[in-house]
Amino acid sequence: MGPVSFPPTSQKLSTWRGDLAKMTHLQAGLSPETIEKARLELNENPDVLHQDIQQVRDMIITRPDIGFLRTDDAFILRFLRARKFHQADAFRLLAQYFQYRQLNLDMFKNFKADDPGIKRALIDGFPGVLENRDHYGRKILLLFAANWDQSRNSFTDILRAILLSLEVLIEDPELQINGFILIIDWSNFSFKQASKLTPSILKLAIEGLQDSFPARFGGVHFVNQPWYIHALYTLIKPFLKDKTRKRIFLHGNNLNSLHQLIHPEFLPSEFGGTLPPYDMGTWARTLLGPDYSDENDYTHTSYNAMHVKHTSSNLERECSPKPMKRSQSVVEAGTLKHEEKGENENTQPLLALD
């Protein structure tokens, strides 16, 4: 006679139902397509979701030097998704997330949208966030580099505004799975502005975005980059992970290669897309709400005089102060152009340089 099977006790039933409800809650709001994508691409299994989360939580004791200020299921889950449910890698990312904040305490003081430094950066369009997602469900972030007024915004405050924006966006479980796209437009970004991108602040940005944040970046796209940005990338390339390098693309002024990866219907006209020009105040208004106020015209000084290719008359015109609205981009629609394949070597993805 085989072993007798007894029905589960009421306590066990209650625990089982509680775990089931918890897992349902963690995946609530996800479309069936996204749930399937998480299963196929991220190895997410709802049957063992709680165990996966607990395994990461159990590792916290191994790092008593770090203050883990948040360890709830939903929070740990985003780190598992960012590392395709490899528990050890997810824990390492979780530890680096809090360690980065411990090592850079000043960056995270008053870490909210109405902090004066963060607010200025947001109003100036750092970052821009498109309302609609691309054909893969990814959120598109924009950076118009020439809008960096160095007398107004420190690089650190811009980085803080980007990290805060990502914190808000990553609350969406769909984006934890589908990820993000970043487009950096280097139009009119001068050599003088680039000279402020020191190794220390670039290292700070790399550590904060690549090594310490649970976001999946499907691509980082450079457009209209000058030669010195390409040279700068060469310098920081050794500090980038191989996966990161393979997801960075140099398009130059070639729209064809950009549109092969991001369809024009998801892009504003600055990038040859069918959407209206991007309003720099869009994301700031979302985060600041009633606290948002578009300031009056301000003086934006362009340092394109550093480009030796300009004539002396252009130098004088480019170096003079130019009034512009903060809600405007310094990039006009149509500044990019379509080029035939192979016409410009800078349109190749950076991974081709490996």
pLDDT in tens, 84-113: 999 999 999 999 999 999 999 999 999 999
**pTM (predicted TM-score):** 0.79
Task: Give me the number of domains the chain comprises.
Answer: 2
Helix axis angle for 73-82 and 10-26, nearest 10°, is 50
Strand partners, 221: 183, 249
Tell whether 340 is covered by a domain. no
Q: Residue 53 is part of a domain; what is its CATH number?
A: 1.10.8.20
pLDDT in tens, 268-277: 999 999 999 9
Residues 91 and 227 in one domain: no
Q: Which domain holds residue 158?
A: 111-291
Which DSSP helix (H) or strand (E) runs through 99?
helix 87-103
At residue 312 the predicted structure's pLDDT band, cuts being 50, 70 and 90, is: very low
Residues 73 and 185 in one domain: no
Q: List Cβ neighbours of 255 (8 Å cut-off, separation of 6 or more).
A: 271, 272, 336, 337, 338, 339
Residues 129 and 46 in one domain: no
Residues 205 and 64 in one domain: no
| Residue for token pair 């437009």 | 185
Give residue 11's pLDDT.
56
Residues 93 and 143 in one domain: no
